[in-house]
A and B are shown apart, each in its own frame.
Chain A
């Protein structure tokens, strides 16, 4: 729109989000139109071909670590991940083009002359794109599943390796994380030291310093020196599946060498029951990961379970560095691989649906190239915002108090914007469903339902309402007189 009127206000008796019975018919017609356009413009065909090419071509070109599990992990994370990325980019651009090009070419003008509310129009477009991405994601999932079967059939592997694959990767296991360490006292003590060295709360706030100190203390505690013991407490759920299959997964820091063995042993058992516990020799470490089977009789539903790593003496052992975020997890098998794959695809579909909503919202406000740039920039900032904020945190902790200067207003604002974007993107860029899938971690129906509600319902709904309001206020025919 290249001109606007002085009183470009909607009529008071017209609400853009008021939906009636005929609305469903109109929304369905618009959704079918969007889907049909993608079909006739060969977007669907082109995308399906690309996805199948990636699904069946990439595993042949990307070498895994030589193991069957490694090959399967490549297939699940890289192959399906690349398909999802391609699909995300294509759907983001399609949605950016959707409304903007129709405004430029005049089709939207003809739609708005008819009895179509702005929200109906927006929802129809969105549903069409959701249907399209759902179909393409189904193709990607089905192709990956077929390729998995082909890989398992063709790859020669020892029965034990196959068994490990089925038990650790091709499964859906609920992951129980340990209780977070209470490091408040330690952080307060260190903060007092900083205050004595000249820390100025007006430059770096107390809240921010405590967050940074907590990160530092936890990083220190992730390393277990020779002769020391590191203990974790895991709260067991009140109900366990009948005949549960339980395993302990140990994850070492990424810097841990692939072939370095652990030199200590594990002691596990119900917490608060002295004398009840079992020693387990440290198992082999494979690419920083280690699995220990835990008999079901060792755990008590609803009670805490203690896991301790007892490092060897200084003469024979070195320091052991565990992964900072996911050092130990108790895994309980709850689902087969197939349903877990379906739920992972559902979560991916929600994420792509949110991208479509973002693209459509940008398309409502800007012309196609501007909308594409804007939406891509928002996605990029949301995905990388935490790098900026965490790098700033590292800087503060490594600088002396004299080096830390009062942040400028611009820095304060940009940090607030980045943190806002980061927190808004947290539900989207949280734990990747594909990473969970390739780790054999359960993607529960609860998580899938939450993503449908948050990503599509809350975020998508908010974008829909805002876009409908903007579209309702926008003059669609300013230009020729």
Chain B
């Protein structure tokens, strides 16, 4: 079965959302005729400038807002049904956690809402705390946490039910590069297991790293949609990477290229990207560090999320 033949996880047709004031006069048309289809195993990026309608679309998919027009189906049902919500995970842009609860209590609480039994809750809580590097801070109130650490608790909360469909609103906001890398690895691991992920981010490099399909919203309408490769492909240019050559050999290669393409080729020295450089430094420093005070992720995806038998 090809990817397009599978039933859609999200099916949005002609979605319109008009916000109204107290007197029910229309104030703004936040979403204007959006069509979206997300299939199983897809990592879909929803991009757009502030106020383009990304968050409104997401909130309609979560059943928090009601569409003015159009149809929305998530996992084949209305997103407002409890049955549908059992299979959805959501990481909001801002932390909406209870300040007085510890991460362990937070995960246990949300596990109870999903009617997980005690053993499953305990197992998943331990694995998620380890994955997000919060095991050592599991019994401190979330209110004491930095924004990044609170975000890790939020991520763990979004995954407690092992969702079929995961919505991540700015998932890397507030995270250090290590956390960003880990979130991206997690997204890829979940997609590999057939989970569907919808994410928004202003960090386009992150989107490019993990998304296999994306849409760009502007003024409530989709202006571009397709696979990342198709959208970003530059059709009339090729990058050629060769080992470092002696000057004579380099001159000969360039001369050959000039004669073949009829113009001056661009020569550049590849560099490590800053993220990879940062990760190398942290990994090296971690070998000799004392007990961490912040998040200390293990870099491993929780076993229940990666489909391992536990």
Q: A6 — which chain B residues lie within 8 A by C-beta?
A: 18, 20, 24, 68
A203 to chain B, nearest CB (A): 40
Contacts A40-B141, A112-B63: A25 and B115 contacting too (C-beta < 8 A)? yes
In the complex, whether B96 has a CB less than 8 A from a CB of chain A is: yes
Docked Cα-Cα span, A280 to B54, in Å, equals 88
Mark interface residues in A1-17 (1 if CB within 8 Å of B CB, else 0): 00111111111011000
Interface size range of chain A in the complex: 35 or more
Decide if A113 touches B65 in the complex (CB within 8 Å).
no
Could you pull out 27 A-B pairs where Cβ atoms are within 8 angstroms? A3-B27, A6-B18, A7-B68, A7-B69, A9-B66, A10-B80, A14-B81, A14-B82, A22-B115, A25-B112, A26-B113, A26-B115, A29-B109, A33-B101, A36-B101, A41-B100, A110-B97, A113-B63, A113-B85, A113-B90, A115-B83, A115-B86, A115-B113, A115-B114, A117-B82, A476-B64, A481-B53
Q: B94 — which chain A residues lie within 8 A by C-beta?
A: 106
Contacts A36-B101, A478-B19: A26 and B66 contacting too (C-beta < 8 A)? no
B284 to chain A, nearest CB (A): 38
In the complex, whether B98 has a CB less than 8 A from a CB of chain A is: yes
Docked Cα-Cα span, A37 to B141, in Å, equals 11
Mark interface residues in B1-40 (1 if CB within 8 Å of A CB, else 0): 0000000000000000111110010011010000000000
| Other contacts beyond A3-B21, A4-B24, A114-B110: 17, CB < 8 A | A3-B27, A4-B20, A6-B18, A7-B66, A11-B78, A11-B80, A26-B115, A33-B101, A33-B109, A41-B100, A106-B92, A106-B96, A113-B88, A115-B86, A115-B113, A115-B115, A481-B28
Q: B90 — which chain A residues lie within 8 A by C-beta?
A: 110, 113
In the complex, whether B62 has a CB less than 8 A from a CB of chain A is: yes
Mark interface residues in A123-155 (1 if CB within 8 Å of B CB, else 0): 000000000000000000000000000000000
B22 to chain A, nearest CB (A): 8
Q: Which of B88-130 contact A (CB under 8 A)?
A: 88, 90, 92-94, 96-98, 100-101, 105, 109-110, 112-115
Mark interface residues in A268-284 (1 if CB within 8 Å of B CB, else 0): 00000000000000000
Docked Cα-Cα span, A476 to B92, in Å, equals 13
In the complex, whether A107 has a CB less than 8 A from a CB of chain B is: yes
Q: B115 — which chain A residues lie within 8 A by C-beta?
A: 22, 25-26, 115
In the complex, whether B56 has a CB less than 8 A from a CB of chain A is: yes
> Nearest 8 CB-CB pairs, A to B?
A40-B100, A106-B96, A29-B112, A22-B115, A3-B19, A477-B64, A477-B59, A115-B82
Decide if B113 touches A111 in the complex (CB within 8 Å).
yes
Which residue of A has the minimal Cβ distance to B83?
A115
Which residue of A has the minimal Cβ distance to B82?
A115
Decide if A109 touches B92 in the complex (CB within 8 Å).
yes
Docked Cα-Cα span, A371 to B132, in Å, equals 39
Docked Cα-Cα span, A4 to B66, in Å, equals 9
CB contact between B85 and one of A5, A115, A476 (< 8 Å): that residue: A115
Decide if A109 touches B78 in the complex (CB within 8 Å).
no
In the complex, whether B51 has a CB less than 8 A from a CB of chain A is: yes
Q: A435 — which chain B residues lie within 8 A by C-beta?
A: none
B88 to chain A, nearest CB (A): 7
In the complex, whether B306 has a CB less than 8 A from a CB of chain A is: no
Decide if A109 touches B96 in the complex (CB within 8 Å).
yes
Chain B residues with a Cβ closer than 8 Å to the other chain, count: 51
Q: What residues make up the interface of B, taking CB atoms closer than 8 Å to A?
A: 17-21, 24, 27-28, 30, 51-56, 59, 62-69, 78, 80-83, 85-86, 88, 90, 92-94, 96-98, 100-101, 105, 109-110, 112-115, 141, 157, 161
Between A40, A109, A113, A475, the greatest number of chain B beta carbons within 10 A of the residue's beta carbon is seen for A113
Interface residues of A, dominant DSSP? loop
Which residue of B has the minimal Cβ distance to A121?
B113
Docked Cα-Cα span, A7 to B18, in Å, equals 10
Docked Cα-Cα span, A323 to B80, in Å, equals 60
Decide if A5 touches B68 in the complex (CB within 8 Å).
yes
Mark interface residues in A21-40 (1 if CB within 8 Å of B CB, else 0): 01001101100010011001
Docked Cα-Cα span, A123 to B44, in Å, equals 37
Between A5, A22, A29, A477, the greatest number of chain B beta carbons within 10 A of the residue's beta carbon is seen for A5
Contacts A36-B101, A107-B98, A477-B59: A5 and B17 contacting too (C-beta < 8 A)? yes
Decide if B66 touches A5 in the complex (CB within 8 Å).
yes
Decide if A481 touches B64 in the complex (CB within 8 Å).
no
Q: A37 — which chain B residues lie within 8 A by C-beta?
A: 98, 100
Decide if B20 touches A110 in the complex (CB within 8 Å).
no
Contacts A106-B96, A478-B19, A481-B56: A116 and B113 contacting too (C-beta < 8 A)? yes
B271 to chain A, nearest CB (A): 38
B15 to chain A, nearest CB (A): 12
Decide if A481 touches B112 in the complex (CB within 8 Å).
no
Decide if A481 touches B30 in the complex (CB within 8 Å).
yes
Contacts A109-B96, A481-B30: A475 and B66 contacting too (C-beta < 8 A)? yes
Q: A117 — which chain B residues lie within 8 A by C-beta?
A: 82
Q: Which of A309-361 contact B (CB under 8 A)?
A: none
Decide if B113 touches A114 in the complex (CB within 8 Å).
yes
Mark interface residues in A95-116 (1 if CB within 8 Å of B CB, else 0): 0000000000111011111111
Decide if A113 touches B98 in the complex (CB within 8 Å).
no
Q: Which of A35-54 contact B (CB under 8 A)?
A: 36-37, 40-41
Docked Cα-Cα span, A3 to B109, in Å, equals 31
Which residue of A has the minimal Cβ distance to B108?
A29
CB contact between A5 and one of B52, B53, B67, B86 (< 8 Å): that residue: B67
